[in-house]
Amino acid sequence: MTDRRSANTPFGRRLLKVIGMDELGAYRVLRVAEPDGPGACVPRPGQFTMLATAERWGGGDDERPYLARAFSIARWRDGEAHYLLEDVGPGTKRLCALRAGEELWVLGPLGQGFTTSRDGRRALLVGGGVGIAPLAIWQDELERDAGLGRGPTDPTPVVTVLLGFRDGPRAEGAALLRGACVATDDGSAGRRGLVTDLLTEELERDAHATVYACGPAPMLESVRAICAAKRVPAQLALEAGMACGFGACYGCVVPKRGGGYLRVCVDGPVIDAAELDQVESHAGAPA
């Protein structure tokens, strides 16, 4: 694997302006203005940022502030950062209500991202639900590094993309990536079944691959187990509740193979599957 590259993360959070909010089936794509140029904080695919709105960021009678929420960077280009959102709680509900012109506190990019393989293995991207977000920016980079110069609407991928969703409205999120093979739990879009069924079939066809995955914890654990059984290297983008993003609060730890713990915010969120005995139930994106 190549060495992990870290972004030049600013010490403090930045106040940025919302450009727009796009609907994508059951999801929303938040577009935020990001400075572009030599001083820009260019993220690595798989890194995340901590987001909080500048106004009305709190609940209860005393409007007690929410903790900032961690979100994978789904896309970064042309002076914009994109985040994939789903309304699953009070914090995400407020973020989903943002409109162009409102302001957002942003801290990051943070954590460790995906790394490329040097042994000629093909890239196999596996995502589930809102967890597909970091795979979009990763696909962009892999295709750009291949020297193909493809645009965001080019339908021809150079990596294999397998995505799983609960239902048809959520499966519309597959449009975030190019050329995806889709499975849904209820069969309302793509194939009926689990994305791990697609993964098993794909590895039976050709196991000379590196798997990059992000999604719900049960999906990630299945990916880890499948890849371990077939001796296929895998990198898993974990998600866990965190308060700081800098490794100080230890609220996002996961057990490490052989003993000890890894902090998802600084040792991850992208962690080599070989470092884990299992993916615990709290270490994945919402289902």
How far apart are the C-alpha atoms of 158 and 78, rounded to whole Å? Answer: 22
> For residue 145, what pLDDT is reported?
85
Of 38-52, 186-200, 212-226, 264-278, the least confident: 38-52
Q: Which string of b and e fits 118-138 if b means at least 16 CB within 10 Å?
A: eeebebbbbbbbbbbbbbbbb
Q: Is pLDDT at 88 greater than 50 in this prediction? A: yes
Residues 86-103 have a mean pLDDT of 95
> For residue 242, what pLDDT is reported?
80
Contact 249, 284 (CB under 8 A): no
> For residue 150, what pLDDT is reported?
47
Q: Is pLDDT at 148 greater than 80 in this prediction? A: no
Q: Is 120 helix (H, G, I), strand (E, B) or coil?
A: coil
**Total count of residues recorded for the chain:** 287
Q: Which domains does the chain have, with CATH numbers?
A: 14-110 (2.40.30.10), 122-275 (3.40.50.80)
Residues 21-48 have a mean pLDDT of 87
How far apart are the C-alpha atoms of 264 and 242, rounded to whole Å? Answer: 9
For residue 234, what are its two tokens? 């895998």
